[in-house]
Amino acid sequence: MSAKVDSVQLDAVCASLRAHGVSILEVSELYERLENGDLRAQTVATPHGAVALVLQERGAWRQVVLGRGAQPALLDAVTALRESSDALLWNEADVNIDGPTLDANGFRELTRQVFTQDLSKVPRDFEPAPDLELAPLRGAAIADARSLFAQTHANSAEGLYCTWPDEPTVRQCGRVFERFLSGEDGATVPGACVVVLLERKVVGVIACAASSTKGTATLLALAVDPRVRGRGLSRVLVRHAQRALFEAGFGRMLFLTTDANAPVHRLFTPEEIVSTETSKLRLWLRNPPVRPVKQR
């Protein structure tokens, strides 16, 4: 059965989670967010004692945050969500179902990594090739950069992270780029928001913003035209942004990647990486991103 969590049910839901081994700290945090209306949620339970707490923020998005109980019963509870969802996502460690079983039921494994870089250890002597020009991300360059970012991220795992829970179409990816520049995800750092020009055309873009942690910036957007890949443009953009951030007083930069863009890892030397946070996620999409790009 499935039930929406309201103020009457909160105590019962949290008691059920505690009974299934969820820590009191986790339950307390979830209780507060649910009580304040920050999240909508429902419990999915089975007659055999399995229970999952499922968060819903927008549309049909479901994020399974906690699942306990016997594996067959819990699998029934989680897979039943597919009937009323377009997407499911959870941290693999939160749900007690083994990997092969999840694979067999269409829940894809996705590795997410968050790198923290020490900007004081980034090489300072890196210069772009003579035929490349770096220019501020402003004026007419914004429209071209938006188009480039949208085209290269549409229908990709990286685009999915940007637009989640919406489908990563060209239009949605373009809207996300606009959101980045609006400052909604942190005040942008002008010197670290640039485009790279080749024969006066925008062929790459990077945008960085201040994070909520003082002295730390976040790399929000990075895109390179596929037609000119192989020339090291990503490295040119990243190194320029890192230098600009350091000169602006930032000591660290955060950068999120997934296994879908593993080549990006080669942009960084081991010496500059302070820490790496790795999460194993499970993802199910009713309409998974595919190529070619959907123009809409």
Please report, rounded to a whole number, the percentage of residues in the chain having pLDDT higher than 70: 69
Find out whether 165 and 58 touch, Cβ atoms under 8 Å: yes
Structure confidence at residue 59 (pLDDT) = 47
Find out whether 180 and 221 touch, Cβ atoms under 8 Å: yes
Q: Is the pLDDT of residue 196 over 90?
A: yes
Taking each helix axis from N to C terminus, what angle separates 170-182 and 140-153, rounded to the nearest 10 degrees?
130
Q: How far apart are the first and last CA of the chain?
A: 37
Instruction: Measure CA 153 to chain center.
Output: 12
Pairing of β 273-285 and β 87-91: antiparallel
The tens digit of pLDDT for each residue in 37-94 reads: 655 666 665 555 666 666 665 544 566 666 666 677 778 777 877 777 777 777 777 7
Nearest to 113 by CA among 255, 251, 214: 255
Predicted TM-score (pTM) above 0.85 = no
Q: Is the pLDDT of residue 184 over 70?
A: yes
The tens digit of pLDDT for each residue in 100-153 reads: 988 888 888 888 888 889 999 988 777 777 778 999 999 999 999 999 999 998
3-state helix, strand, coil in the chain (%, to 5): 40, 30, 30
Burial of 146 (0-12, 13-18, 19+ CB in 10 A): buried
The mean pLDDT of the chain is 78
What domains does the chain contain, in order, with CATH numbers? 2-106 (3.40.630), 115-280 (3.40.630.30)
The phi, psi pair for 4, rounded to 5°, reads -75, 140
Find out whether 118 and 274 touch, Cβ atoms under 8 Å: yes
- The conformation of residue 69, written as its DSSP 8-state character, comes to S
Find out whether 87 and 110 touch, Cβ atoms under 8 Å: no
DSSP per-residue codes, 119-163: GGGS-S-----TTEEEEES-THHHHHHHHHHHHHHTTSHHHHHHH
* Opening angle at CA 189, ends 176 and 208, nearest 5: 45
Structure confidence at residue 221 (pLDDT) = 93
More confident: 266 or 5 = 266
Question: Which whole number is the average pLDDT over 16-43?
Answer: 65
